Structure 1
Amino acid sequence: MFLDGLKSKFMLALGACILGTSVAAADYPTRDIRLIVPWPAGGGADAISRKISNIAEQELPKSIYVENIAGAVTATGLIQMTNARPDGHTVGVLTYDSVITLPRGQMVPGYGLENMELIARITSEADAIVVSKHSGINSFEELIEKAKANPGQVRLGVAPKGSGPYLSANQLEKLLDVDFNVITYVGASSAEAEALLSGELDAAISSLGDFSGIIESGDAKGVIELTSVQNMTYTDVPTISSKGYDLQTGSFIVLAAPKGTPEDAVATLETAFKSAYDSEEFQSWLAQIGVTPDWLGSDGVNAWVEELQTNTFALMDELGL
């Protein structure tokens, strides 16, 4: 009889626990959602994250607030994300470095995509070469000509070694048979933008969207995009394929939550961000800054990341990086 009573209490407790979990899932979110952007404020990833989250929160009963936690090529912020309680109230932003640079180098203990639930890819952005108005360069052809005439002298800013732009610089040197003075910058593209403004750099590689402010002000100019698809916002910037070269490089924005986040919470987040993505406000804003909308939901983003890693790692092996 004692055992029957104990069993009965256990079943009641288990039922209460299951009911509590169901109620919690139904009530999600119960507090504001933290969106960790692992770059300093002011860069392209930061701007896109803030814009879409401001729209997405309109679909939710709670707000989404952005927290910039930079360091270790995005690992510092993303490790904080993966160590957070997996209840859907913490989300992180992944870029090229998060998916390629860090896993490739295995440079930060505790960091790994296996600790995340990928929610969706939001954008893809081709890399581009932007030149400073101080450089005296006005076209892709002039950039190549100056680099050939002055080996190792044209200062080209990129993100740290192993990053997408760094890989692009190596590929360009081989493709064009030139030698740039490649200078790496830790942090967001905002640091490269400042260097272009001051004349510290002749050129830099990142997306046109990352440099939209200084392009619009006339302090810099896009001379080539490393893609075969013409950017419909920056129609005056040619593709590298139009110049007879085959090169496709760039970055993206992917959203993720800590591993173990309930499926219902992931689904709620995906629905809210997809609604924001589809909105006229977000789509027109992306067009203004020259970023390509490129949604891929939770049902396909994992396979896409695996394929990207396989292809990119093979290329890095070939280049000895």
Structure 2
Amino acid sequence: MTTALAGAAAVTMIVAGTAAHAQTPYPTKTITMIVPFAAGGPTDTVARLVAQSMGNTLKQQIIVENVGGAGGTIGAARVAKADPDGYTLFLHHIGQSTAPTLYRKLPYNAIDSFEPIGLVTDVPMTFVARKDFPAKDFKELLAYVKANKTKVTYANAGVGSASHLCGMLFMSAIDTELTTVPYKGTGPAMNDLLGGQVDFMCDQTTNTTSQIKGGKIKVYGVTTKTRVPSLPDVPTLNEAGLPGFEVAVWHGLYAPKGTPKPVVDKLATALQAALKDQNVKTRFAELGTEPVAENRANPEALRTFLKSEIDKWAPIIKKAGVYAD
């Protein structure tokens, strides 16, 4: 073979090899979905339901790994530094939009360090208390916390968590500062509420519905405009005596920045399939939530929504003067 022919053959082999590599089907191995909170919490519950269904569609297992701490920023930072190959995903809630204002120094950019895949669900929140809390309804709850503000303890899942944001808005709305007890995740906070170590908290229906229905905690209201189908007898806070108080916790799915568009698109398609999965819809309904509409479960919808949520929360957090290092 002449030198020219040998060279041409080598180039052909390289091109063929590159093409074959580019066409390698995704995924070919297990995918990890990072949840930046402790196991057993509401975001963890949502993630595990979605991960199982997406894995079925992608024909690869998606394992959920809990990387809690610092209001979700430790898990977020880990994903931001991960290889952008589609094998590390990140499911986070509203905290992705509040972290840029809450934390003075973030080791990542909430928008630029990630590739959005799509919105997942909007979760209502509930005001709940230990089973033997003296107030029988929300009106009595308001009166009690104002009269006992130095004694009442409000639990949350840590700075930047949904329960922290809900509590911050609540204290602002009633113009009363309460003693807050932060935890590393909603699961531990709920355990102490069940055990009577703390008085009350604001938490997502995905974490409270079964406890409410089991009579293990008291419920005083939901934070949505209308009542929640899974808790039809629980009034909205607007009905209960706190007009205009509304908080919904949205969840979004992300990949590290630089993840190839075909991979992101394939993940978005799998997410959309998961949100149509009857088992997921049924379990979501039992937990007091529902999947977002298909036109919100895509990269552009999440990108636009995240930017709008950052703009929405920034002035509220700055006004409250709540920051974390």
Match of 1:19 in 2: 19
State yes or no: 1:239 paired with 2:239: no
- Matches of 1:70 and 1:310, distance apart in 2: 25
Pair 1:75 & 2:76 matched: no
Moved more, 241-250 or 82-91: 241-250
* Aligned match of 2:191: 194
Q: 1:7 & 1:259 partners in 2: Cα distance?
A: 37
Bigger mean CA offset, 55-64 vs 241-250: 241-250
Asked whether the equivalents of residues 149 and 177 of structure 2 are also in contact (C-alpha less than 8 Å), the reply is yes
**C-alpha offsets along residues 219-265 of structure 1, whole Å, 9 cap, x if unaligned?**
11221122213211111221122235112223222111111111111
Task: Give 2:247's aligned residue.
Answer: 249
Provide the residue aligned with 2:168 in structure 1. Answer: 170
| Superposed counterparts of 1:1-321, under 5 Å | 12=12, 15-16=15-16, 18-24=18-24, 27-101=25-99, 104-110=102-108, 112-185=110-183, 187-242=184-239, 243=241, 245-295=243-293, 296=296, 297-321=298-322
Cα gap change, 1:79/1:14 in structure 2, threshold over 3 Å: closer, same or farther? Answer: farther
Deviation at 1:299, TM superposition (A): 2.4
Please list the CA deviations of residues 103-146 of structure 1 after superposition, one character each: whole Å capped at 9, or x if unmatched: 54143424643111010110112332111112123311121121
Matched-pair contact (CA < 8 Å) for 2:167–2:201: no
- Structure 1: gaps of 5 or more residues: none
TM-score with structure 2 setting the length: 0.88
Contact 1:73 1:102 in 2 (8 A): no
Range that drifts further, 56-65 or 268-277:
56-65
State how far apart, in whole Å, the 2-side matches of 1:6 and 1:221 are.
79
1:53 shift after superposition: 1.3
C-alpha separation between the residues in 2 aligned to 1:215 and 1:317?
Answer: 34
Partner Cα distance (1:273, 1:21) in 2: 25
CA contact (8 A) 1:73 1:98 kept: no
CA contact (8 A) 2:275 2:292 kept: no
Give yes or no for contact 1:101–1:163 (8 Å, CA) kept in 2: no
Q: RMSD over aligned Cα, in angstroms?
A: 2.4
> Deviation at 1:320?
2.7
- 1:301 Cα offset (Å): 0.8
The 1-side partners of 2:31 and 2:161 are apart by: 29
Distance 2:291 2:218 in 1: 22
Q: Give the letter for the 1:288 counterpart.
A: E
Please give the per-residue CA displacement for 1:17-69, whole angstroms capped at 9, x wherever unaligned: 54134312xx1111111111221211111111111211222212222111222
SS at match of 1:113: coil
Structure 1 outlier segments of 4+, above 3 Å = 2-14, 110-113, 161-164
Cα distance in structure 1, aligned partners of 2:136 and 2:290 = 25
1:228 counterpart SS class: coil
Q: Percent identity?
A: 23
SS in structure 2 opposite 1:91? strand
Mark the CA change 1:158 to 1:284 in structure 2 (over 3 Å): closer, same or farther: same
State TM-score, norm by structure 1.
0.89
Contact 2:123 2:249 in 1 (8 A): yes
Contact (CA 8 Å) 1:72, 1:108: kept in 2 or not?
Answer: no
Which deviates more from structure 2 when the two are superposed, residues 192-201 or residues 10-19?
Answer: 10-19
SS of 2:300's equivalent in the other structure is coil
Question: Aligned equivalents of 2:151 and 2:205: distance in 1?
Answer: 24
State the number of aligned residues: 317
